[in-house]
A and B are shown apart, each in its own frame.
Chain A
Amino acid sequence: MGLRPLLLSLKQNKFFALLIILQVALTLAAVSHSVFSTTVLLKDWNVPSGLDDENLVYAGAQFFIQNPDRQSAIINDLQNLRSLPGVESVTTTNQTPFAAENVSSVFKASGDQAQRYLAAVFEMNSAALDVLGIELVAGRGFRDNEVVRAELSGTTEYPAVVMLSEALAEDMFGDESALGKTFWPVSNAQPAEIIGVYENIMTGERLNGIGKSYNSAIRPMVLWSANRFDPSYLIRTEPGAAPALLEDVRSALYTQRGRYLYINEVLTRTQKRMYDGRGSQSMVMLTISAVLILITGLGMAGLVSFLVRQRRKQIGIRRALGATKADILRYFLAENSLLTVVGLVLGIFITIAIALKFPALSGDGSLRYDLILMVAILLWLINVFAVFWPARRAANIQPASVIG
Chain B
Amino acid sequence: MLAYNLQLAWLSLKEHPALTALAVAAIAIGLGILMTIQAQSHQMQSLPVGEDSDNIYLVQIDNRDSNAPNVAESFEMPSLSYRDAMNLMAAETAAQQQTTVWKTRGIVNTFAQDRNPVRAPAVVTTREFFSLFKVPFLYGSGWSAEADEQGAQVAVITRSLNNALFGGADSVGQKITIIESVATIVGVLDDWPIKSQFYDRSFFRGFADDLFLPQGFALNMNLPRYTRIDCRPADMPRMPAYRLGNVQALINSECSWINLWVKLPSSEAVQDYQDFVSSYVDEQKTLGRFPREKNNFLDSIVTHQNIALSNDSRFKLYQRLAWFFAGVCLLNAIVILLAKFIRKTKEVALRRALGARRNTLLMQYLVELVVIGIIGGLLGIVLAYLGLQGMLEIYLYATDYMLPRNTVDQLYSLDWKLVQTALLIGICSTVIAGLYPIWKVCNIAPAPQLKTD
Contacts and interface: CB of A to CB of B under 8 A. Distances in A.
A283 B394 CA distance: 10
A309 B316 CA distance: 44
B19 interface: yes
Interface size bracket, A side = 35 or more
A20 B400 contact: no
Contacts, number: 124
Contact of A303 (B33, B313, B335): B335
Contacts of A33: 321, 324
Contact of A30 (B118, B325, B342, B399): B325
B13 interface: no
Contacts of A358: 320
A49 B391 CA distance: 28
B398 A298 contact: no
Contacts of A26: 324, 327-328, 331
A48 to B, nearest CB: 21
A33 B317 CA distance: 10
A177 to B, nearest CB: 36
A299 B335 contact: yes
A276 B400 contact: yes
A254 B317 contact: no
Given A226-B245, A298-B22, A254 B321 contact: no
Contact of A292 (B314, B328, B339, B399): B328
Contacts of B343: 306, 309-310
A299 B321 contact: no
B116 interface: yes
A314 B342 CA distance: 17
Given A30-B321, A284-B394, A299 B22 contact: yes
Majority SS at the chain A contact face: helix
Interface string B173-186: 00000011000000
A401 to B, nearest CB: 15
Majority SS at the chain B contact face: helix
B26 interface: yes
A362 B22 CA distance: 30
A313 B317 CA distance: 49
A309 B16 CA distance: 13
A27 B328 contact: yes
Contacts of A262: 119
A273 B118 CA distance: 22
A380 B360 CA distance: 42
A285 interface: yes
A152 to B, nearest CB: 10
A33 B26 CA distance: 21
Given A15-B436, A23-B332, A227-B244, A295 B119 contact: no
18 contacts: A15-B338, A19-B335, A26-B331, A30-B324, A66-B180, A227-B243, A260-B117, A273-B402, A277-B399, A288-B33, A288-B325, A292-B328, A295-B25, A295-B328, A298-B22, A298-B25, A302-B19, A303-B339
Interface of B: 18-19, 22, 25-26, 29, 33, 107, 116-119, 179-180, 240-241, 243-245, 313-314, 316-317, 320-321, 324-325, 327-329, 331-332, 334-336, 338-340, 342-343, 390-391, 394, 397-400, 402, 436, 440
